[in-house]
Amino acid sequence: MGPDAIPLSKPDISQLEQTLVRDVLASGRLAIGPMQEEFERLVAARAGCAHGVAVSSGTAGLHILMQALGIGLGDEVVTTPLSFIASANPIVYVGARPVFADIDPRTLNLDPAKLEQAISPRTKAIIGVEAFGNPAHMDEYARIAAKYEIPLIEDSCEALGASHKGRRCGSFGRAGVFGFYPNKQITTGEGGMIVTDDSNLAAICRSLRNQGRDEFPDSASEQQRLGSWLAHGRIGFNYRMSEVAAAIGVGQMQRFDRMMEQRERIARLYIERLSGIGSLILPTIDPESTMTWFVFVVRLTTDYTAEERDRVIMGLRTHDVGSAAYFPCIHLQPPYRERFGFKPGDFPIAESVSNRTIALPFYNSLTEREIDLIAQTLEVMISRESITRG
């Protein structure tokens, strides 16, 4: 890909974020400060949750939740095989066993019936993921979690601002997690946030992100706070978010509605331009969901092989259109095969979908002309495969 290529994603940073960052730098307060609190308030409100706990990444947020919920050795956590690897790795961090269930081929999320079949007496939690930002089934996962009296953790790293049946993503389970890497709906460079209505859980998460220090009520004196800086009630982590990162996040949240309108417009243009290509399956839009779009992922019909899909992606890149195979199945990544014995064929629907996905460029400043160009290039690359096949 050349310097004028259309990238797969691009952060949308305005003058506002730059000003807020400059203010933080000038203030001299670079960690544990007012920006983090403001960012927590803005994101929690957007998710319809009482508490937000800013952390250093979405992965760190999931790790903290595993720890806070007491999940460990001998426990099982059920999740989806079709996701970014970070939605399952935190299960392994705490010594528990990831148990996958196959997906619904329409929504690309965990199939609720298969999720329920995968639950055993050792299951201690469900991690539900909104794959590519699609919130379908999250209410069903919550119902299943309640039935078996286990917590649902919502990995909403791809779904900030989305909702399903009138309910905000992040608010379906005991806790939700957002990620703010530069390719997500909003970014802080690196960062994440836990959201929850459970004030006890929020307090434990605040402590765990901050080296296991106790949290104080707002009424605590400066003396009490100082005295306990070196008092650690539990083994925690340093998973804090810096004030610089939080300042970027505050600016992004202030522009959130406008940015999501742009994403919606781009998604609609894509659907319009791509719906005429016969070999493509477009994302299913559930009338009961609103999406904020993470990336735009289409897939080839089942008559295409993984090799043909790979050549289409390479062809797009050669023609300066960013593209990737989002996502290879987690259970087939080498450490999961080696440690847990997963193999091809274990989750046939997820594997079949994963072999045919094509992620297309998606970012707020993408123009209509660029979308036309992407659609045309994609169509040429696909017909090249059909022709060489004979």
Piece of 51-59, 109-117, 165-173, 267-275 that binds ligand PLP (CB under 6 A): 51-59
Question: In 3D, which of 110, 94, 183 has the Cα closest to residue 152?
Answer: 110
Question: Is 179 or 249 the residue whose CB approaches ligand PLP more closely?
Answer: 179
State the nearest-atom distance from the C-beta of 70 to ligand PLP, in Å: 21
Site for ligand PLP contains 154 (CB under 6 A):
no
Report phi then psi at 235, rounded to 5: -80, 115
Residues 6+ apart with CB under 8 A from 376: none
Site for ligand PLP contains 157 (CB under 6 A):
yes
Q: Of these, 158, 308, 351, 385, which contacts ligand PLP (CB under 6 A)?
A: 158
Question: Is 59 or 364 the residue whose CB approaches ligand PLP more closely?
Answer: 59
Site for ligand PLP contains 57 (CB under 6 A):
yes
Question: Is 299 or 319 the residue whose CB approaches ligand PLP more closely?
Answer: 299
C-alpha to C-alpha distance for 354 and 161, rounded to whole angstroms: 25
User: CA angle, 209 as apex, 206 and 214 as ends, to 5°?
Assistant: 50
| DSSP states along 63-129 | HHHHHHTT--TT-EEEE-SSS-GGGTHHHHHTT-EEEE-PBPTTT-SB-HHHHHHT--TTEEEEEEE
Q: Of these, 103, 129, 142, 266, which contacts ligand PLP (CB under 6 A)?
A: 129
Question: Is 87 or 252 the residue whose CB approaches ligand PLP more closely?
Answer: 87
Q: Which amino acid is at 370?
A: E
Site for ligand PLP contains 192 (CB under 6 A):
yes
Instruction: Give the binding-site size for ligand PLP (rule: CB under 6 A).
Output: 14
Site for ligand PLP contains 128 (CB under 6 A):
no
Buried b (16+ CB within 10 A) or exposed e, 251-262: bbbebbeebbeb
| DSSP states along 343-390 | -TTSSHHHHHHHTTEEEE---TT--HHHHHHHHHHHHHHHHHHHHHH-
Piece of 10-18, 70-78, 155-163, 313-321 that binds ligand PLP (CB under 6 A): 155-163
Question: Is 84 or 100 the residue whose CB approaches ligand PLP more closely?
Answer: 84
Q: Which residue's Cβ lies closest to ligand PLP? A: 58
State the nearest-atom distance from the C-beta of 56 to ligand PLP, in Å: 8
Which one of 114, 124, 184, 343 is the catalytic residue? 184
* Binding positions for ligand PLP, 58-87, rule CB under 6 A: 58-59, 83-84, 86-87
Question: Is 89 or 279 the residue whose CB approaches ligand PLP more closely?
Answer: 89
Query: Is 184 noted as a catalytic residue in this protein?
Result: yes
C-alpha to C-alpha distance for 7 and 14, rounded to whole angstroms: 19
State the nearest-atom distance from the C-beta of 160 to ligand PLP, in Å: 11
Buried b (16+ CB within 10 A) or exposed e, 120-138: eeebbbbbbbbbbbbbbbb
C-alpha to C-alpha distance for 44 and 65, rounded to whole angstroms: 16
Residues of this chain that interact with ligand PLP (CB under 6 A) are 57-59, 83-84, 86-87, 129, 155, 157-158, 179, 181, 192
Catalytic residue numbers, as ranges: 184
